[in-house]
Structure 1
C-alpha cells in the first residue's frame, strides 16, 4: 500500500507488497524489494537498491548524495540486502567514483536510531549498530559485529567478525575478529567471549581463539613473530585462519 501523500517517482521500481507511509519520498532510480516497509517522512533517493522485507522507519535518509566534496553526481550505488531494520533518522549513503563506487549492506542488520553509514562502506550480515554509531567512508564491518552507542570508526578502518565496540569507542585502527575495543582512541579490551558463546562457538574453538589473542596482543611479540607462534602452537581452524589473515591485511594497524 502506498499512502496517497507519498511521492513516488514514476520510474521507481516498487515490488509487490511494499508499504510506503505518509509523506515519504521515493526517487527515480530506487528499487524496493517485495514486502519492505517505508516509514512516514522517509526519503529514499539516488541509485538505491533495497532488498526484500526491509523495514525503514520514519525520518530515515537512505541513498542521499555522499558527504564527499569530490562527488559530482555520478551514478554510484547504495545496495541494501534483505531483512534489514533501519530505524529513525539513520543516514545511509552511496559510494563514490574515487572509492569502490557503491556502499554495500548485507542481510539481517539492525541500524538503531541516528546511525550513519558513509560512502563506500561495506557492512556484512547480522551486524548491530546501536544508537548514534557512525562509520566514516571506506569502512568495512564484518559479519556479527556489534557497534555500541555513539561509537565512531575512522575512514579506511575495518571491524572484524564478531567484534564488539564499547559505547563511545573512537576507533582509528582495525579491530581484530572476536575481540572487544573500548575507549577514546580505542584499544583492545579482551575477547568477546559472550558473543562467541551466543553464536555457538565450541569451548575448544573459544580456547584456541583466546590463545591466539594472547599471542597476538599480550605477548609483546612483533606481529610476524606472533603469527609464527600461533601457527606453531594453536590448532588451525577457519576462525584462527581468519584471525591471522585479518591481521596480516591490516593497513592502519590493529587495536592493541
Structure 2
C-alpha cells in the first residue's frame, strides 16, 4: 500500500476523473462521505466526479484516474470489477472495513460455499458465482486505504487530498492503546473486559473508547500487533483468550487468517 512520497495529480491540466464503486457492504461509508457538508463542495470542486454508483444509474466511463471502492469482494463478478478498476485507474483507494479487511462479510469466509444451502432449500442461480468474501487488497494492489466502520469523513478527505496533491506522510502502524494513553482513558482490561485496542491499527482517536465502549477492531490489525503478547495480557487480566480470538474475526477475518499463519 502506498503512503510515502506520492506524486499526486498537480501536473494534470484537467481535474482528475474519479469513480466511486460499491461492492458487498451497507454503503455506510459512501453515506459517511456526504456527511462532510462543510468541506464536501470544496472537495468536489477539485475533481471530476465521473461516476458514483450510489448517486446515479449512469454507466461507469471507460477512462478515469482514481477509483474509490467500498465493500468486500464476494462474487466472481465483483472480483472481475476490482481487477478492471485496477487496470484502468492510476490510483485505487479502498474505503471502510469491508474493503480493507473483508469486514462483516468476511465473517462468513470459512466453509463459505456450504452456507447458501443453510439458507435456501433451492440455491438460486444468482448464488452460482459467489466466492468466499475477501478484501479488495487481497485481490489487487491498493494504493491507499481509509479504515474504520464507517470511515471518518475527515480521514477520507485527508487521503483524497494526498492522492490529488501528493504527500510524504507515512502510514501509521501504531496500535490504539497509545491513543488511549494520550486521551487518558481508563483501560477496559483493568475491569476484566475485552478490548481489541492493543492490536488494532490506530488513527481514529479511539473514539469508541472515549464513549465508554471497548474497541471492536474495525480498523484492522496493526502491522505492529503482537498477538501472542495480547493473548498473554488476556490471561493476566482474566479475559478468556477464546473470546479475544473470536472478537478478532468480526472485522479482521482476512488479517486474522494471515496472522494465524505466523
TM-score by length of 1: 0.29
Per residue, is there more strand in 1 or in 2?
Answer: 1
- Which structure carries more relative contact order (alpha carbon 8 Å, separation 6+)? 2
Per residue, is there more helix in 1 or in 2?
Answer: 2
TM-score by length of 2: 0.28
